[in-house]
Amino acid sequence: MSGNVKDKRYCIIGAGACGLPVVKALAERGIAFDCFEALGDVGGIWNPQSPHRVYDSTHLNSSMKLTRYRDFNAAEDLPYYLSAAQAEDYLRDYAKHFGLYDKITFNAEVARAERTGEGWDVTLKGESARKHYDGLIVANGHHWSPRMPDYEGTFTGEVIHSHDVKSKDQLKGKRVLVVGAGNSAVDILADAAVENGRAVHSMRRTYYFFPKMVFGKPTDQFVDLTSRWPLPRSVMRWLYRMGMGVLVGKHHRYGLPEPDHDLFEAHPTACTAYLDHIVHGRIVAKPGIERLDGKTVHFNDGTSEEVDMLIFATGYELTFPFMDASNVLNEAGRSKLFLHCFDRTSDDFFVVGLFEPAEGGVWQLADYQAKLIGSFLVSMARAPEKAEWFRDLKREAHPDIGHGIPYKGTMWHKFEIQHYRFRKYMKRLLKRFGTVSEEALDGRPLDTETARQELDEAA
């Protein structure tokens, strides 16, 4: 991409938790853009009006300190882990505080985005005319296209994906079986166990389950703190394994098979109630499903259960329905982008929020990505040498932003990062941009004192 950024206009897709900081970053820097949001309000999956909204009993699995945007504090009386309603309130308050509502076009779904020789053509649903933009920033979210498994036989009860479980009222009076071991699975199981006195849990493989609090601190904050210790990561992993042994103990004591992977080789599951329900007999753990027969589910260990509702908490497909996914993914389904964000060979394409932290929240890291995008765009207009440095970096660099061991398992483990290392690396890049990261296109300094303090604290 060449030319004067002052004369360019960008398209932002989505005004959820990852799109909002992009709107703010570009607006405060005087970069022209249009932001299209398919819903009538901000928040994405946290918006209760969304067809993809989260389960109403959902709480964040990352603490507010490692989730919130670094320049917007939450109310002091909020808990460590926000409920779905509190999360949506926070996002709306953020949008109101920074005047973002007037900068977003609501009820406008992007149907198609196509790369042209110079930029992108964008078509909105219900419209035939194309809108041309010099760059595209995708923040459409990735937890809304359910992945459904296939088993031998037929189930005659109710079959749904966790995506379609919106209230625990759906679980009442039913014999519930949940397949999967992620955060959504254990949340639904806990409610089903309370509502009905018993629930069945099927897992092909066992994951590590850890409490949300350790030593009086949110677990992700404890991991974040210890990540700063000057110890080899092999030693840190040993300490974490020892800690899990003390806090949770061996899986077989809960009637669960031992995991087939090392800690952090797959995304651990944050939960507190699940293990309590296991030891109280309200949740019965089973291995993978062998076959279905009416309302009878047969498992790989030869046992069976009669159930009324089969819920697949089996994750989501990574979907970009409005564009060619090859803009983002390689043939192996992995991100082609620098920091899961920047196109390596061109300056007109960005994705925000395409990663999965092993601990800590997505929103805060998406905020860093947004500020890096803004800094890069400003540098193209005001500091060409900085822009060239960053172009060279994003073309070749593969920074160490994980736990130092290969992840395995589901598709989402291809996008796993470690919150502290990812955050620290992006912080270093913002500092390398220097004053450019704190300036608008016209050279006006941004009101960045709060953000600068947060940036220093995040080190």
The pLDDT of residue 270 is 87
Q: Could you tell me the pTM of the whole model?
A: 0.93
- Same domain? For 177 and 280 the reply is yes
Report the distance separating Cα 16 and Cα 143, nearest Å.
12
Residue ending a domain, among 312, 346, 368, is: 312
Query: Which tokens sit at 419?
Result: 């919150």
- Same domain? For 324 and 394 the reply is yes
Instruction: Give the position of tokens 């920047």.
Output: 342
Is 203 buried (19+), middle (13-18) or exposed (0-12) by CB count in 10 A? middle
Phi, psi of 11 (to 5 degrees): -110, 130
450 sits in which H/E element: helix 449-457
Average pLDDT over residues 275-283: 95
pLDDT greater than 80 at residue 416: yes
pLDDT for 317-327, tens place per residue?
888 999 999 99
Report the distance separating Cα 182 and Cα 208, nearest Å.
10
- Same domain? For 190 and 325 the reply is no
**Which amino acid, 40?**
G
Q: How confident is the model at residue 96 (pLDDT cuts 50, 70, 90)?
A: very high
The pLDDT of residue 455 is 45
226 inside domain: no
- Same domain? For 325 and 284 the reply is no
pLDDT greater than 90 at residue 394: yes
- Same domain? For 305 and 259 the reply is yes
- Same domain? For 83 and 70 the reply is yes
Query: Which tokens sit at 37?
Result: 């949001």
Average pLDDT over residues 274-289: 95
377 inside domain: yes
368 inside domain: yes
- Same domain? For 422 and 365 the reply is yes
How many domains does the chain fold into?
A: 2
The pLDDT of residue 171 is 97
Report the distance separating Cα 402 and Cα 346, nearest Å.
25
269 inside domain: yes
pLDDT greater than 80 at residue 264: no
- Same domain? For 53 and 169 the reply is no
Query: Which tokens sit at 405?
Result: 């061991």
- Same domain? For 140 and 267 the reply is no
Q: How confident is the model at residue 260 (pLDDT cuts 50, 70, 90)?
A: confident
Residue numbers of the domain that contains 87: 5-144+317-457
- Same domain? For 122 and 30 the reply is yes
pLDDT greater than 80 at residue 5: no
27 inside domain: yes
Beta strand 309-312 pairing with 158-161: parallel
The pLDDT of residue 144 is 76
Residue ending a domain, among 312, 333, 366, is: 312
87 inside domain: yes
415: three-class secondary structure by DSSP: helix
- Same domain? For 400 and 450 the reply is yes
Query: Which tokens sit at 439?
Result: 């300036």
216 inside domain: no
Instruction: Give the position of tokens 């590590």.
Output: 208
pLDDT greater than 80 at residue 143: no
Report the CATH number at residue 430: 3.50.50.60
The pLDDT of residue 404 is 65
Query: Which tokens sit at 52?
Result: 């993809």
Report the distance separating Cα 369 and Cα 343, nearest Å.
13
- Same domain? For 348 and 364 the reply is yes
pLDDT for 318-355, tens place per residue?
889 999 999 999 988 889 999 999 999 999 999 999 99
Residue ending a domain, among 312, 332, 359, is: 312
Neighbouring C-beta atoms of residue 329, cutoff 10 Å: 17
The pLDDT of residue 2 is 47
364 inside domain: yes
pLDDT greater than 80 at residue 148: yes
Report the distance separating Cα 65 and Cα 62, nearest Å.
8
Contact by Cβ (8 Å): 5, 441: yes
- 406 or 366, which is more confident? 366
Average pLDDT over residues 23-47: 97
